Structure 1
Amino acid sequence: MEAINDFIAAALPYTEWPMFLLLIGGGLFLVVYSKFLPYRYFGHAIAITAGKYDDKNAKGDVSSFQALSAAVAATVGLGNISGVAIAIHDGGPGVVFWIWMTALIGMGIKFYSCSLAIMFRGTDSDGKLQGGPMFYIIKGLGPKARPLAIFFAICGLFGFLGVFTANQFTETFMSVVEPSKNLYAMSDMNWKWTIGIFLAVITSFVVFGGLTKIAKVASALVPFMVAVYLVAVIVVMVMNAGLVIPSLKLIISEAWNFDTLVTGGFWGLVIIGVRRAMFSNEAGLGSAPMYHGQSKTDNPIKEGLVAMLGPFIDTILVCTFTAVVIILSGAYLEDGSGIVMTLSAFETTLFGVGDDLLMVIVTAFALSTLFTYSYYGVKCLSFLTNAKIGRYYNHYFVVMIVFAAVASLELVKNLIDLSYALMVIPNMIAVLLLAPKVNRAAADYFKKMKR
């Protein structure tokens, strides 16, 4: 495993510039090019999500709300709880500011990419309606762009594994429950194998049920788990009200700290923020368009507006609350990273039982993420082969859950970071080239809406 990690770590620096230029530079272009449209119609997006403009006769498998829930289920998870902690550990409190900036830009990217997912839908070998980067790359840019779609799908076979979630859930269980002491006296490694197998079995019951089952579970679980988590962090902030504003001020002041100790200085600080934000809300990655591409709507702009709510919910709200709790508790000053840091913050601020509460929340987050993530990989393998073979991805996905439970955090983090950075390249190239088509569709949509 160490050799694999060394290879991935050596490759990561070469992906930084392309990812940054396409994600931030391209994202800023889209925000300006749209004339800030996603932000101006934020309220309208909420109304669409609530079902006010649903068309019962539209093609698709799931409602816009279910698609958003499934997409958010894949993003609102351990990336928000431990991913933020990892970012603060690696870059200090100031990294949160760059997570915010990336998320705001990500709202614009999601508007365009998920609009394209409806605009250029296709069918798989079973004749079922499909959407996502592979389809808008080929149908939007033409057959010559097929190598971009193939490259995206190959990277997705690794990027859409649930390894980070499985790894961090295992760490949470080991830290809070301490099974070797409190349950059954066997080695920590054997416990990790046991946890990995348990997660794999539970995940199997849902992922082999297909998109409809995933969407139903996600739409029921996501609102509940987000609400419980937000109530917990709001209680912490109310109890420590005097420390909230200083924590936010520290985030902003440290964002411009050119003397930061993080590797790479100020540039390294920004890169960490971009990576962790992309891991948190997946804007620019191309995953959300796969779910939104199967929504019951025939209007691409409506779905794009719904999709752009994802980064706001996932990053602007959930990640910020996590960061504030970590900072005001002082946990960021301790020697720990990932979920351990967040557990320490909750235990310190919630009467000594916050880590137990977080264990329950993390379980819901982990399961919902695992349930939804597998579907992305199925679509990638189906594109590369056919729908029948594509379903075998779930077997690979489940096996890798067990592997992740016993692997190091460094290995799974590097694997996901590299895969994500590579997936951004073909997806953002396609989104930028096809943006004019979205603008024309948006002009028509809002013109009709005003009548």
Structure 2
Amino acid sequence: MGELIIEFSNWIWGTPLLVLLMGGGFFMLLYSGFIPFRGLRHSMKVVGGKYDDPNASGDISSLQALSSAIAATVGLGNISGVALAIGTGGPGAIFWMWVSAFVGMATKFFTCTLAIMYRGKDSSGHVQGGPMYVIEEGMGKQWRFLAVIFCVAGIMGLLAIFQANQLTEVLRVVLLRPFDLDWGQTSKWIIGVTVMLLVALVILGGIKRIARVASFLVPFMVALYFISVFIILFKNLGAVPDMFLVIIEDAFTGKAVLGGAVGQVIIIGARRAAFSNEAGIGTAPMVHGASKTSEPVREGLIAMLGPFIDTIVVCTLTALVIMVTGVWKSGERDGVLLTLSAFEQGLPGIGKYLLMAAVLVFALSTMFTYSYYGHKCFNYLFGADKAHFYNYFYLITIVAGAVTSLSVVMSFVDGMYAVMAFPTMISAIYLSPKVVAATRDYFERMKIMDKE
């Protein structure tokens, strides 16, 4: 079964999906008039709460939506995902992660704008957002099969199995093995059950509790991680410029993978970027669709900050730490263990404990938000009165992720992400004229407001 999952993941992440994600994102970048660049300043004002409307429909503020979305993306994708990219595709994969992030900013602008434009109602009459509602409300009932495909893949692909797997590995390596307390699979089961109980305390409280916890944890975990990374980079400051050159050179030569297969480097970079910032996958529109706002474009502007923060900033810092410490040449391909080696090398004695703390917070915050995504998919397919059953399924799979091999877990998640991307990107491209028209109207009205 494990081999079949790996083969399916490698097959579906072929040229068609790469063209859809990268090509579609580039189309949106051009069609929007390079909105990630010309709208960046305004989006920062929006995040600051200048335009918040507490009376608008929705469950959470735009800032809470961004925090929740970042909690799901600024996480182990930045610690383990980057290491996996370098371990399997070489430093050049990071360059293609950058490219994916910039086009991903445009993709998130379109998909999250649509999530507000075409909100629907679940079986209980509660307002909901996400690609499934965009497809049904924006494209029409005849396209509902795409919404069903998205939700089925979402229920399976938005499980916290990768986070559980990598958190378990870090805790075993840092806390158990030095004291000869690692009992193999038994340790994995114990850690998995413990993590499951911690996650249950938060996710059973619904999106409002998830958003409150994420809003508290995200600034803390980013600050802790940044401080650790900056110390390591400062100690190796002279090597940083050379590492950028290595990334750019390897991006176009592919020396580190498959004897110079540049196409493979691009695919690896795109896969890891998709896992890291989720642009085009359809997850962020589900949480941004719950924002208290009546301005779709404004929510899209907030959402597009996610890929920039996640991939351009955080992933780059992680990549530089792995490279300046030299551990990337070791051949280690287990994502989190490669990053752990870099922290041990860069900060002897305390590095592994700092990374363990960051991994713990990153993993838990991501687990909280992922539960909301899967819950919404289950709600759409089976009704609001049955949606709570998903939480129990979700919690059980945390234990499964803790005891399963990384290659199978990562391939399963990658495969389901790929399936989710097709409906999300098709609907975004199909409805892109609506977004462009709304964007023009929004900025015209903002000019009037500024004059007043």
Equivalent runs, 1:398-437 vs 2, <5 Å: 398-437=395-434
Alignment of 1:249 with 2:245, yes or no, is yes
Matched residues in 1 for 2:258 and 2:313: separation?
Answer: 25
Query: Structure 2 residue aligned with 1:35, among 27, 33, 36?
Result: 33
Query: Structure 1 residue aligned with 2:270, among 266, 271, 274?
Result: 274
Which residue in the other structure is 1:228 paired with?
A: 224
Equivalent runs, 1:300-315 vs 2, <5 Å: 300-315=296-311
Alignment of 1:340 with 2:340, yes or no, is no
Alignment of 1:287 with 2:283, yes or no, is yes
Alignment of 1:192 with 2:200, yes or no, is no
Which residue in the other structure is 1:354 paired with?
A: 351
Q: Secondary structure at the match of 1:295?
A: coil
Which residue in the other structure is 1:450 paired with?
A: 447
Report deviation, 1:13. 3.4
Report deviation, 1:245. 0.7
Alignment of 1:214 with 2:210, yes or no, is yes
Report deviation, 1:181. 5.1
Q: Secondary structure at the match of 2:36?
A: helix
Which residue in the other structure is 2:156 paired with?
A: 158
Matched residues in 1 for 2:440 and 2:229: separation?
Answer: 40
Contact 2:146 2:423 in 1 (8 A): yes
The sequence identity of aligned pairs, in percent, is 48
TM-aligned CA distance change 1:390 to 1:18, over 3 Å? farther
Contact 2:117 2:296 in 1 (8 A): yes
Matched residues in 1 for 2:285 and 2:398: separation?
Answer: 24
What letter is aligned with 2:394? F
Q: Secondary structure at the match of 1:255?
A: helix
Query: Structure 2 residue aligned with 1:330, among 326, 330, 339?
Result: 326
Which residue in the other structure is 1:115 paired with?
A: 113
Contact 2:78 2:314 in 1 (8 A): yes
Matched residues in 2 for 1:288 and 1:329: separation?
Answer: 34
Contact 2:90 2:254 in 1 (8 A): no
What letter is aligned with 1:270? I
Which residue in the other structure is 2:8 paired with?
A: 11
Report deviation, 1:388. 1.7
Matched residues in 2 for 1:284 and 1:428: separation?
Answer: 6
Report deviation, 1:351. 2.9
What letter is aligned with 2:198? I
CA deviation profile, 1:320-348 (whole Å, cap 9, x unmatched): 00000000000101132210100000110
What letter is aligned with 2:306? G
Equivalent runs, 1:361-376 vs 2, <5 Å: 361-376=358-373
Matched residues in 2 for 1:180 and 1:243: separation?
Answer: 32
What letter is aligned with 2:117? M
What RMSD in Å do the two structures reach over aligned CA positions?
1.2
User: Number of aligned pairs?
Assistant: 446
Q: Secondary structure at the match of 1:356?
A: helix
Matched residues in 2 for 1:259 and 1:353: separation?
Answer: 34
Contact 2:253 2:260 in 1 (8 A): no
Q: Secondary structure at the match of 1:449?
A: helix
Which residue in the other structure is 2:87 paired with?
A: 89
TM-aligned CA distance change 1:306 to 1:74, over 3 Å? same
Contact 2:221 2:358 in 1 (8 A): yes
Matched residues in 2 for 1:301 and 1:190: separation?
Answer: 50
Matched residues in 2 for 1:164 and 1:318: separation?
Answer: 19
Report deviation, 1:270. 0.4
Report deviation, 1:264. 8.5
Contact 1:90 1:262 in 2 (8 A): no
What letter is aligned with 2:356? M
TM-aligned CA distance change 1:180 to 1:96, over 3 Å? closer
TM-aligned CA distance change 1:320 to 1:204, over 3 Å? same
What letter is aligned with 1:249? L
Contact 1:121 1:132 in 2 (8 A): yes
Matched residues in 2 for 1:258 and 1:94: separation?
Answer: 7
Query: Structure 2 residue aligned with 1:299, among 295, 299, 305?
Result: 295
Matched residues in 1 for 2:35 and 2:172: separation?
Answer: 46
TM-aligned CA distance change 1:113 to 1:317, over 3 Å? same
After TM superposition, the score normalised by the length of structure 2 is: 0.97
What letter is aligned with 2:19? L
Matched residues in 2 for 1:430 and 1:136: separation?
Answer: 7
Matched residues in 2 for 1:438 and 1:255: separation?
Answer: 33
What letter is aligned with 2:105? M
Contact 1:72 1:222 in 2 (8 A): yes
Unaligned runs of 5+ in 1: none
Matched residues in 2 for 1:264 and 1:396: separation?
Answer: 43
After TM superposition, the score normalised by the length of structure 1 is: 0.97
Report deviation, 1:259. 4.3
Task: Point out the more displaced range, 280-289 or 250-259.
Answer: 250-259
Matched residues in 1 for 2:185 and 2:254: separation?
Answer: 41
Matched residues in 1 for 2:88 and 2:178: separation?
Answer: 31
Report deviation, 1:128. 1.2
Query: Structure 2 residue aligned with 1:393, among 390, 398, 411?
Result: 390
Contact 1:18 1:425 in 2 (8 A): no
Report deviation, 1:258. 4.4
TM-aligned CA distance change 1:180 to 1:250, over 3 Å? closer
Matched residues in 2 for 1:258 and 1:181: separation?
Answer: 38
Q: Secondary structure at the match of 1:83?
A: helix
Equivalent runs, 1:252-267 vs 2, <5 Å: 252-262=248-258, 265-267=261-263
CA deviation profile, 1:390-422 (whole Å, cap 9, x unmatched): 121111111000011010000001001100111
